Amino acid sequence: MLARVANNLFWMGRYIERSEHLARYLNVNYFSSLDAPSELSQSREFVLRSIMFMASNEVVDAKVKLKEKDVLYNIGLNIKEPYSIIYSFHSAHENARSSRDLLSTELFESLNTINHRIKNYDAKAFVKSGLYDFTSIVIKSTSELRSKVQGTLLHDDLYAVIMLGIYLERALQITRIINSKCSDATVEKLKDKIPQENGHLWATLLKCVSAYDMMRRLYKKTPKQNTTLEFLILNPQCPRSIKNCLSQMEKYVDILSKHHKIKTDSAAFLIKKLNAEFKYKLIDDIESDIEDFLSDLIDKLVFIGERLDEDYFKVTVYPIIKEKSVSSVQTQ
């Protein structure tokens, strides 16, 4: 497989996963605020800032008053914004189109159909009343695409490249979602000065990553910070947990590196090292300094992505050797 083709497929997987998490976070946070327990968590300004922080990794100045329609449009349908849902899905489609001959007809047709459907979505309808409909389309569509990847492609190197992109992006997006909700919790404690935990906030976090029902089934009690973070970060059986994502990343990078010597600065080594660290982590170690832990984890995942690009997907550009023209050759 050419490095250029592998790069396209890797980023197709990443952009599909990114689209889902952006859509789910926008959907759940926006509508869960309607029945939030406190005045602050019901505040539209508070919700919009949380959404902007997660989507664009941008802390909006408290003095800046956000316009709801502008924020929703930028995150949903503004193709010029690299953090928007439409930008991510369009990028997934473009990467797939450039590697069309390696994908199944079922996968590409689904991706093509969904891309046409959402890129023509009425912007006025979206910011007025179509947010739920639009985000639901994206959430269901990305789930369908992953099933097409798993059910119609050969489980070979090509499949490993796509799945590596999916799990790397999932780990990164889950970490950013947790970071955003932990930031919300800190703001609520400072402003509301309520000593007890806001169970609604942790329930919202779990719903953002489709893990609420399974968390309740495992712990059999209302979500709290300790149990929620333990479930989403350290539970190896939860398909959305960081620990599970790292385990899957190691599985697929092993397929790609089976014929390569693993160096200490390689992506494969970094993934294995991070996965080994998580095998013996305890929630008490993490919770004592959760903000630094999440910030450090985001940096590590971003760096792993860069090393994957260097190790497997970087296209080698050979220097062009210019031949001398006949007229430039001196005659004896």
The model's pLDDT over 56-94, given as tens digits with 9 standing for 90+, comes to: 887 777 677 889 999 999 999 999 999 999 999 999 999
Tell me how many domains the chain contains.
Answer: 1
Look at residue 330 and tell me if it is in a domain.
Answer: no
Look at residue 326 and tell me if it is in a domain.
Answer: no
Q: What are phi and psi of 323, to 5 degrees?
A: -80, 145
3-state secondary structure of 99: coil
Look at residue 319 and tell me if it is in a domain.
Answer: no
Look at residue 184 and tell me if it is in a domain.
Answer: yes
Helix 242-256 to helix 157-192 angle (10° resolution) is 160
The pTM of the full predicted model, rounded to 2 decimals, is 0.91
Query: According to the model, what pLDDT value does residue 196 have?
Result: 60
Look at residue 328 and tell me if it is in a domain.
Answer: no
- Res. 41: pLDDT tops 70: yes
Look at residue 191 and tell me if it is in a domain.
Answer: yes
Is residue 149 within 8 A of residue 162, CB to CB? The reply is yes
Look at residue 206 and tell me if it is in a domain.
Answer: yes
Q: What gap in Å lies between CA 24 and CA 31, rounded to an integer?
A: 11
- Res. 322: pLDDT tops 80: no
The structure tokens listed for 160 are 């490993």
Look at residue 329 and tell me if it is in a domain.
Answer: no
Query: According to the model, what pLDDT value does residue 255 have?
Result: 94
Helix or strand (DSSP H, E) at 167: helix 157-192
Q: Which domain holds residue 204?
A: 3-314
